[in-house]
Amino acid sequence: MPVLSVNDLTVRFLTRGGVVRAVERVSLTVDTGEITGLVGESGCGKSVLCLAVMGLLARPPASIERGSAFFDGMDLVRADAATVRSLRGRRMSMVFQDPLTGLNPYMRIGDQVTEPLRAHGKIDKKEARDRGCAALAEAGLPDPARLMARWPHELSGGMRQRVMIAMALIGRPALLFADEPTTALDVTVQAQILALLKRLQRELHTSVVFVSHDLGVVGELCDRVMVMYAGRIVESAPSAELFSRPLHPYTHALGRASPALASKGRALYAIPGAPPDLLQEITGCPFMPRCERAMPACARAPMALDEVGPGHWSACIRARETA
Amino acid sequence: MSAASPVLELNDVAVYFPIVKGFLMPRIAGCVRAVDGVSFAAAMGEIVGIVGESGCGKSTLARAALRLVPLSRGSVRVDGHDLAGMERDELRRFRPAIQMVFQNPFASLDPRMSVFSILLEALAVRAPIPPADRQRRVALLLEQVGLEPRDASKYPHEFSGGQRQRIAIARALAAGPRVLIADEPVSALDVSIQAQILNLMMRLRENLRLAMVFISHDLSVVHHIADRIAVMYLGRIVEIGPADAVCDAPAHPYTRALMSAAPHAGAAGRRERIMLTGEPPSPSAPPPGCPFHPRCRYAVPACKEALPSLGARAPGSPHQAACIRLGSI
């Protein structure tokens, strides 16, 4: 049962320099209790995709040109702002990358964690407090009762990120977007946060969309991984399969460029060139100029995901040759 | 790579920052022991990797190696010359021998200087460059880092993050260093760009035989590029040895936890994870004895007694760790 189904979503930004094609015709579904990874390099559109679904993009400058995002039987793209706001923090929520700027420095942890509850209707103080403590404990924070009275600056980065997670979970959302939640953290703290997300998935059946540029983290945590490039999903597969048998040249190149997966001391594969300018309209495959396997047909072929193996989708027209 | 004559040699380096309390009558209330007794050496053409988590002192150590922060104790020798004892003028003359590449290429280049003037300034530190020679020398540097001679007329904002880091590396090379210290040089870059910069650094090591200190929080990056790895915790080196030995068979309990925490994409990566609880202690009030003992799963009462020093894993082995239970865990 999909919790979220995004269809043909296209997001553009109207800027003085022209139209930025940030997300181009993206379709995806997120199943109940599944952790879906979204990987790609800076500027590939992964965060914009999440923000668009969450209704957090300012329109203008952003504009959703086409497509839909169904959640709770409702198209979030067409729903009015008040309706989407009533879902945020309750049915769906988001954890942002930077725990330093994600928390309000003028609010005590307790007020901050329970804010989603208060925003969605009257709740008495005692109950808010109890649920706040429970949420902090759930996020693995010690001594929640005392923590409620503290200020964000008194906490370490790892603790702040847990507060953000507690805040996102207090409304018991069915869908959680986690946008690079561990990028600013050390590996040992990262391991704790990943274990926490796994536990939430198992115990509360929360669906998670996990955004990261780190292949290792995504491969370890996620059930299914989607790879984005130039605003498009270029490959989607079960996580183990994606890393052992990538069927898009971009995914393959990322793996060869990553020191975690390459053999020591050898030159790493450096993808030639740079990602395309999103101000220009791209016809054909966006990765073609940098691709080792490109052929003339790639310039004309329309970008479309094709199921090349069971549950394994690739947007490369040559994927079937290797599949 | 002979260890007989290291180019860079740090001996018992310590950096303490005073904690000043009070506004009208400031007094020193204690000190943060950011780096506390670190010794290691790097030979010509050798890359020594330094890993550790935020606040472990790795960046302070880098700054101390260049004497950008005053040393509280110890010596930093480059080709036998001790930087710690140098007077200001002497240090200025000597500094071209040891150069640094910083983490953020968006902050480390002056946005109002063209690439030509950035590199010329660094070239002229050693000796003035005759005007007729300038174009050629700058072009040579740019070529060395994989940029085009025509890039010299551009400004930093015209380049991507990876290209800016190339410019920062070219600037470090301009002074003709013997030692290059790179503090998280690829942390701000995407994977595909990171690969280009790592390849460049490995090539420079081959071509110029530089001694390099490569600091990173990313274990896979350090394992890939370094010959030897030093692991820092709370201002000290807790383990040091050949890169493969430290990564594949870590000896210190902290290194083991660190290695097991690193995410692995492959299905083969599902192994036991040692979960560390709590936070690293404050470097202003380190716990008695071994600084890792409050979080260590192997801790015994004796660990609280005395600070362990680095000991060889096997007699004569270059793989050393600072743990009293080294032989038994």
Report chain B's mean pLDDT, rounded to a whole number. 88
Predicted pLDDT of residue B10: 95
Q: Coil, helix or strand for B81? A: strand
Please check the confidence at residue B270 and state whether its pLDDT lies above 60: no
Please check the confidence at residue A303 and state whether its pLDDT lies above 60: yes
Number of independent structural domains in chain A:
2
Angle at B118 between CA B125 and CA B226, to 5 degrees: 80
> Tokens 């600013």 belong to which residue?
A184
Residue B65 to residue B78: CA distance in whole angstroms: 9
Residues A65 and A149 in one domain: no
Residues A113 and A84 in one domain: no
Contact flag B195-A257 (C-beta cutoff 8 Å) = yes
A323 to chain B, any CB pair closer than 8 A? The answer is no
Residues A31 and A122 in one domain: no
Please check the confidence at residue A159 and state whether its pLDDT lies above 60: yes
Sheet with strand A62-71: strands edge to edge: A18-31, A2-15, A62-71, A74-75
User: In this structure, what token pair is assigned to residue B76?
Assistant: 């930093």
Contact flag B221-A219 (C-beta cutoff 8 Å) = no
**Spacing of C-alpha A317 from chain mean position:** 26
Predicted pLDDT of residue B265: 56
- Looking at per-residue pLDDT, the higher value among A97 and A312 belongs to A312
Instruction: Give the pLDDT band of residue B1 (cuts 50, 70, 90).
Output: very low
Cβ contacts of B109 within 8 Å, gap of 6 or more: B118, B156, B164, B167, B168, B171
Predicted pLDDT of residue B196: 87
Q: What is the signed CA dihedral for B272, B277, B280, B285, rounded to 10 degrees?
A: -140
Q: What is the pLDDT of residues B130-149, one digit of tens each?
A: 999 999 999 999 999 989 89
Q: DSSP secondary structure string, B147-204? A: --GGGGGS-GGGS-HHHHHHHHHHHHHHT--SEEEEESTTTTS-HHHHHHHHHHHHHH
B130 to chain A, any CB pair closer than 8 A? The answer is no
Residues A52 and A68 in one domain: yes
Is the complex ipTM more than 0.90?
no
Please check the confidence at residue B224 and state whether its pLDDT lies above 50: yes
Query: If you average pLDDT over residues B288-303, what whole number do you get?
Result: 90
Residues A142 and A59 in one domain: no
- Looking at per-residue pLDDT, the higher value among B4 and B262 belongs to B262
Query: If you average pLDDT over residues B6-20, what whole number do you get?
Result: 91
What are the angstrom distances between the C-alpha of B147 and each of B154, B162, B175, B234, B273?
A: 12, 11, 18, 39, 43
Strand bridging mode B211-216 / B179-183:
parallel
Please check the confidence at residue B2 and state whether its pLDDT lies above 60: no
Chain B partners within 8 Å of A186 (Cβ)? 53-54, 217
Lowest-confidence pick of A55-69, B212-226, B255-269: B255-269
Sign of CA dihedral A86, A89, A91, A97: positive
Residues A144 and A199 in one domain: no
Chain B partners within 8 Å of A158 (Cβ)? 279
Please check the confidence at residue A209 and state whether its pLDDT lies above 60: yes
Contact flag A157-B221 (C-beta cutoff 8 Å) = no
Predicted pLDDT of residue B4: 55
Amino acid at B101: V
A111 to chain B, any CB pair closer than 8 A? The answer is no
Task: Give the domains, in start order, of chain B with CATH numbers.
Answer: 8-253 (3.40.50.300)
User: In this structure, what token pair is assigned to residue A100?
Assistant: 């330093």
Asked whether the beta carbons of B241 and B320 are under 8 A apart, the reply is: yes
Instruction: Give the pLDDT band of residue B46 (cuts 50, 70, 90).
Output: very high
Residues A188 and A216 in one domain: yes
Please check the confidence at residue A172 and state whether its pLDDT lies above 50: yes
Q: What is the pLDDT of residues A243-259, one digit of tens each?
A: 888 999 999 888 888 88
- Looking at per-residue pLDDT, the higher value among B268 and A81 belongs to A81
Neighbours of A277 (CB within 10 A): 11
Strand bridging mode A35-39 / A18-31:
unpaired
Residue B143's Cβ-side half-sphere holds a number of Cα atoms within 13 Å equal to 7
Please check the confidence at residue B119 and state whether its pLDDT lies above 80: yes
Residue A164 to residue A141: CA distance in whole angstroms: 11
The parent domain of residue A165 ranges over 100-172
Closest CB from B195, B261, B264 relative to A188? B261
Predicted pLDDT of residue A68: 92
Please report, rounded to a whole number, the percentage of residues in chain A having pLDDT higher than 70. 99
Q: What is the pLDDT of residues A77-126, one digit of tens each?
A: 888 888 988 888 889 999 888 777 888 989 999 999 998 888 888 888 88
Residues A61 and A194 in one domain: yes
Report which of A303, A291, A228 is spatially closest to residue A22, judged by C-alpha positions: A228
Residues A179 and A38 in one domain: yes
- A vs B, Cβ pairs < 8 A, gives 113
Please check the confidence at residue A45 and state whether its pLDDT lies above 80: yes
